[in-house]
Amino acid sequence: MGLVGVALARLGWKVEATDFVEAALVFATHNARVNKVGEHHGTAYLDWRNPAGTPAACMVASDVVYERQSHPYLCRVLHHLLLPGGRFFLADPQRPAARRFVALLEGQGYGHQVETHPVRWKSLEHRVDIHTFTKP
């Protein structure tokens, strides 16, 4: 767990991995230590329903918009924790619910770009969209 955060920390980014589930935070911390990126990687509890923390210029998420009912909560997180002009990077394996989330953010004035990347896993090929949103 926490693969994206570990990968970014390996690139030298300062990462604060967040989750609502304590076990996910424990596993993310463990994986950061195993991968020797603990100096660049921390964890914090984040409840999307009541987001609290220091606003940031960049946020990254992977495969988190698959349930439509979570979209308003993620929008609330972005409203409270992403600075104006900040960027939100979202990876999604082209799930149908992601299109609705993209439309929701575009309707709120976010700039949007998307790149699609083919990913091969064993004998299957998947396509992953990397969305870049810019907060107005």
Q: How far apart are the first and last CA of the chain?
A: 31
Q: Do 66 and 113 reside in the same domain of the chain?
A: yes
Q: Do 66 and 1 reside in the same domain of the chain?
A: no
Q: What pLDDT is recorded for position 2?
A: 87
Q: Do 99 and 118 reside in the same domain of the chain?
A: yes
pTM of the model: 0.93
Range of the domain at 75: 53-136
The CATH number of whichever domain residue 61 belongs to comes to 3.40.50.150
pLDDT tens readout for residues 69-83: 999 999 999 999 999
What is the mean pLDDT of the segment spanning 58-63? 96
Torsion of CA 53, 113, 127, 26, to 10 degrees: -10
pLDDT tens readout for residues 100-117: 999 999 999 999 999 999
